Structure 1
């Protein structure tokens, strides 16, 4: 099969019919009749599944992978890639903020350069000042704390070769961050500037971004653990020096003044640091706990499509 288009569904009902029509047209222009559209229902609470299943009945190119519940966007994307069979795989969101027609331009770049991945980046992040500033901060902190050079304002849309997809699927993390995996999988990758549309208000809050940053950093770097060691060492050396100073002052200069303010402040400071460091270690322990259980990161309830019985994850 020449081409697979993979998209996830979550509250996608208003856009799904148009997305399917435009994706089908873009795919047929590039691959003729030799393509598939893989839609992964990530526990969508609306009628996205019913619409998608109806599409499989009218279009033999469409396959729907129905997950047993909502597992999250990144895990749903990996599941869709695992069910794809094309020599080229175009991953894209189904909400029409990213255009299916980008496929032609991405394919042209891949054909011209011989690269394995062409991915989209926004020249300017959509949204207001808060959205733009928190987005920039996320990427800067991620790069600083992990050493992984993930580009700013990257979007979901990307065209990949089969060998790259197979390599990507070798990662078996349970708590995965797909943006980092895209980078560390390697191969020759080319970015293309795109203009992402706004079809609905973002539900990605500042708290969600912070949680995503913590998960991303702890998934790819041990730097927070190393930092706690050096911070503890610095505090210990500073405390030892201060104790030596007080001892010398007591015996050779004068007794230090009585008072509890500095004592209480110190207790609060160091107690907070201890709890913070334990919390950092707890995050890593929780990740180890999740990994050693070896639970599947998604569970497929059903697969709809003409080749349902012949389809299994790659």
Structure 2
């Protein structure tokens, strides 16, 4: 009988966990030819998440959990869950029930009967997200596809079931700055997408603020694209051409360069652009600096069921 490891990153999910466990347990019991294990990863929660996970582990032998010493981020939690998964198939799910448990049976059926290594959920619609957040998300995915040349589209998230070969290939990538959507695309493997409708959280509140989403987007671009590092050269060439053209036009038609405000504005503009691109280059240097430290991706404070 096959074993499916259901990996669930958790951060302050005390309100959502009971409903999630009940819903997914019912589905897990109804997958023919497979048995499931639950691997919950408490990402340094400040509420009763760890206490609830400890109770689930004590009452259900299928449940195991890791509790981090602090908040290391969802990417680290997903990596930790995958490292500790023993299943023939591994699936990532959010604890807020926005990933429909009923798709687990279909995902497993696809991997067993069709020639795919991964079966993933393709989110349609953004119910529960504001209009501004939806617009920014769609814009980000258009930018990252252009910059990174990887298959990362809007709606192609973390909810996916993969075979052991794909899981092991992901574990081979040990960089500290992790962007899992990019990693899924980078390792390749044949993936089938199953559409599902996005719904609101079952309980609790989203932990993703605009600030954290923006930081996540920047990390994704910098982790899988070198395009921003090449942009200063192109912009610099355009600015030089514009400066030469300005001088020529002023001498020929303006009687010389005598407009002091224009020069001051130009200097300020050039300095501002220079600082922006220096910041981009600094981001790459800082990421290389963090990688060179060889720090652990996460630190476990407590575990249960292992």
TM-score, normalised by the number of residues in structure 1? 0.89
Aligned pairs for 1:193-208 within 5 A:
193-199=195-201, 200-208=204-212
Shift of 1:22: 2.6
- Contiguous gaps of at least 5 residues in structure 1: 309-314
Does residue 6 of structure 1 match 2:7?
Answer: yes
Distance in 2, Cα, partners of 1:218 & 1:235 = 24
**Secondary structure in 1 matching 2:5:** strand
Distance in 1, Cα, partners of 2:148 & 2:91 = 27
Match of 1:238 among 217, 239, 242: 242
**Secondary structure in 2 matching 1:120:** strand
Matching residue of 2:54: 53
Match of 2:168 among 166, 169, 184: 166
Shift of 1:32: 6.5
- Whether the aligned pair in 2 keeps the contact of 1:3 and 1:31 (CA below 8 Å) is no
**Secondary structure in 1 matching 2:31:** helix
Matching residue of 2:100: 99
Change (3 A) 1:90 1:294: same
In terms of Rg, which structure is larger? 1
- Whether the aligned pair in 1 keeps the contact of 2:8 and 2:40 (CA below 8 Å) is yes
Matching residue of 1:37: 38
**Secondary structure in 2 matching 1:65:** strand
- Whether the aligned pair in 1 keeps the contact of 2:111 and 2:163 (CA below 8 Å) is no
Shift of 1:287: 0.6
Distance in 2, Cα, partners of 1:23 & 1:254 = 74
Distance in 2, Cα, partners of 1:81 & 1:6 = 7
Matching residue of 1:258: 258
**Secondary structure in 2 matching 1:208:** helix
- Whether the aligned pair in 2 keeps the contact of 1:56 and 1:304 (CA below 8 Å) is yes
Does residue 108 of structure 1 match 2:109?
Answer: yes
Distance in 1, Cα, partners of 2:149 & 2:13 = 35
Distance in 2, Cα, partners of 1:140 & 1:157 = 20
Shift of 1:245: 5.7
> Pairwise CA RMSD of aligned residues?
2.0
- Whether the aligned pair in 1 keeps the contact of 2:44 and 2:70 (CA below 8 Å) is yes
- The number of residues matched between the two structures is 302
